[in-house]
Amino acid sequence: MEPWHHTDQFTLYRGEALSVLASLPTGSVDAVITDPPYSSGGLMRNDRSVDPSAKYRGWSQDETGKSVAPKSTYDTFTGDNRDQRSYLFWSALWLSECLRITKPGGTLLTFTDWRQLPISTDAIQAGGWVWRAIAVWDKGVGRPVKGRFRNHVEYLLWATKGAAPQREGVYLNSVLRYSSPTHKDRQHLTQKPVDLLRYVMPLVEPGGVVLDPFMGSGTTGVAALSEGRTFIGVEMVDEYANIARDRLTAAAHDQQLTLDASA
């Protein structure tokens, strides 16, 4: 499949993830870092069929750190209404394709929530990866629900293709405290903070290639470029693909200015 947009620092594809992944060469990336659609947001099948814009509302924090209900609306996205069995089968498919594309010793980092945590760890292993660890992302913000624990954490699952490389000086924490993007900074319904992705980037080979088959607004790519990696992204929704392209273009420009200043 031909890229939709290509530069020396990043390559973007518009299309469905499995179709694009099937076209990528074996052993061509060093890491897969991604935030797939969770097919979550409820306990029953009908709950999960609700549009993502209603399930994932985009809570953030005010200047005092208090959880703030959504004030903005964002474009929705597709592929988030699978039941539990189909979610497992679909996840194993894209994870196995990513395994083929990744070099031996390469890294997988994928986000999930509490509902899909058990099945996601199963899918990682079904896809052929060696499951290594779970990191907790403490967002510091979440919708308060009376009589329940507050939903202010998500999870980042780490796996490798075979043996894990021992990188000198890399000692990452397993509790990651990074606030969700504020409303004025958010461009995607489930956008992750750039600094969180930058923090885990040392797990990727220096100068390596990072693949995100569900890139959304391109946060993984922005972090990858900022840390001296190159990036391949895949996105189905045209609006988010355009946002990602613009964000990555700006990040590539900033990175080049940094390199020029240090030369």
**Among the ranges given (30-39, 47-56, 237-246), the one the predictor scored with the smallest mean pLDDT:** 47-56
Domain hosting residue 31, numbered range? 5-262
Angle at 19 between CA 12 and CA 92, to 5 degrees: 110
Q: Using CA atoms, how far apart are residues 120 and 112, in angstroms rounded to an integer? A: 7
Residues 183-188, mean pLDDT to the nearest whole number: 66
pLDDT of residue 31: 98
Best CA proximity match to 133, nearest among 108, 114, 152, 113: 108
pLDDT of residue 135: 98
Best CA proximity match to 28, nearest among 209, 257, 239: 209
Band of pLDDT at residue 55, cut at 50, 70 and 90: very low
The count of structural domains within the chain is 1
**Among the ranges given (16-25, 44-53, 118-127), the one the predictor scored with the smallest mean pLDDT:** 44-53
**Dihedrals phi, psi of 139, to nearest 5 degrees:** -75, -20
Q: Which of 35-39, 41-45, 102-106 has the highest mean pLDDT?
A: 102-106
Residues 64-70, mean pLDDT to the nearest whole number: 60
Residues 137-155, mean pLDDT to the nearest whole number: 85
What pTM value is reported for the model?
Answer: 0.85
Residues 204-230, mean pLDDT to the nearest whole number: 96
CATH number at residue 232: 3.40.50.150
133: enclosing H helix or E strand: strand 130-138
DSSP letter at 65?
Answer: S
Residues 172-176, mean pLDDT to the nearest whole number: 97
- First vs last C-alpha separation in the chain: 37
**Helix axes of 117-126 and 84-101: crossing angle, nearest 10 degrees:** 40
- The sheet carrying 209-212 orders its strands as 5-6, 10-14, 230-235, 209-212, 29-34, 102-112, 153-160, 130-138, 175-177
Residues 106-123, mean pLDDT to the nearest whole number: 96
